[in-house]
Structure 1
């Protein structure tokens, strides 16, 4: 039964596709591999989007009176008792709850 099916496929594939059976199955395998890669990428982006929706919004800016760069450096994450602060366009934000890699990103 399986041998008859294989023989029928070997005759039908070149007639319908113009490809040899080996080429046809190679193209089929590549198409399946690309499908799986693309679906994994889309699935991981969906998981990332769900994670972003679950995450809490950033707290409001920390209000420090006219801080100098030296004063702000005290809040660089090296002291676990102090928050990790970051200044953007004059506003100071507490980024302590963000990624553990935030400390290294702003050094």
Structure 2
């Protein structure tokens, strides 16, 4: 065994600190576990076709609130409708 100048306790303490630091930084900067990305094409849902609405009222816009999976979610900001 090669002598490194560190005691066995110091070596394992440093190893544990490096391991803990890695997990902290990978948790902060790494991918989020709660965000699930599809791994293949079978998991991806097809995009809905675009909807031409023209001018609609606030009552008609409420139909596109995102609760119906067959209708897109629409949002109006300053009289512009975003899909």
State the TM-score bracket (shorter-chain normalisation). 0.3 to 0.5
More helix per residue: 1
Higher RCO (CA < 8 A, seq sep 6+): 1
- TM-score, normalised to structure 2's length? 0.48
**Larger-gyration structure (1/2):** 1
TM-score by length of 1: 0.41
